[in-house]
């Protein structure tokens, strides 16, 4: 609901009201609503897709994508209509773009993943090398034992 003065209230969809309150600073959006919802999609009763769509919408709302898209749209429309003030707050084009300071966490996660991958790769190479050396030593020991056994059997045969 939008309140222009004490006697008049404007009812409508929440997104439209938020946009109108953004471009016209005389309007104030009230916190309480009759039926606040971000997005609704009608489906047939007992549809297989309704559960999937409901879960998808819930995930988008929980992660903040819907609010971000609405804020991006209202700032775009405010800049398109020439109202760059947004009721006391000015818009800057640099605020809309992703820069290194905003994406720093993602780069740290990426670097951490690379480091863990390199450590695991080196560990695998070392384990493979140690396994092959162990296998070679085991074969050498078995070969020496077999050759000693053959020599011992040969000595026994010569003694006869």
Mean pLDDT of 141-149: 86
Say if residues 39 and 57 touch (Cβ distance below 8 Å).
yes
Q: What is the DSSP letter of 160?
A: -
**In the prediction, which pLDDT does 33 show?**
60
10 phi/psi in degrees, rounded to 5 = -105, 120
Distances (CA, A) of 37 to 29, 59, 143: 15, 14, 78
Q: Give the Cβ contact number of residue 1 at 10 Å.
A: 15
Cα–Cα distance for residue pair 111/91, rounded to 1 Å: 33
Query: Looking at the predicted structure, is the pLDDT value of residue 78 above 80?
Result: no
Sequence-distant (6+) residues with CB within 8 A of 59 are: none
Mean pLDDT of 26-42: 64
**Among 1-5, 6-10, 149-153, which stretch is predicted with the lowest mean pLDDT?**
1-5
**In the prediction, which pLDDT does 138 show?**
92
Cα–Cα distance for residue pair 20/2, rounded to 1 Å: 9
The DSSP line for 15-46 is HHHHHHHHH-TT-EE-S--SS--S------TT
Cα–Cα distance for residue pair 121/153, rounded to 1 Å: 48
């Amino acid at each position: 609901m939008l309140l222009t003065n004490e006697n008049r209230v404007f009812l409508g969809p929440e997104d439209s009201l938020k946009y109108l309150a953004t471009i016209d600073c005389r309007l104030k959006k009230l916190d309480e609503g009759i039926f606040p919802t971000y997005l609704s999609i009608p489906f047939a009763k007992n549809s297989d897709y309704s559960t999937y769509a409901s879960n998808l919408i819930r995930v988008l709302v929980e992660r903040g994508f819907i609010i971000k898209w609405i804020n991006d749209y209202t700032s775009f429309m405010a800049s398109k209509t020439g109202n760059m003030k947004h009721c006391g707050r000015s818009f800057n084009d640099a605020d809309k773009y992703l820069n290194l300071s905003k994406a720093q966490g993602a780069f740290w996660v990426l670097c951490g993943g690379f480091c863990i991958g390199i450590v695991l790769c080196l560990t695998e190479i070392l384990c493979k090398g140690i396994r092959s050396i162990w296998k070679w030593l085991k074969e050498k020991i078995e070969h020496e034992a077999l050759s000693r056994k053959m020599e011992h059997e040969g000595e026994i045969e010569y003694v006869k």
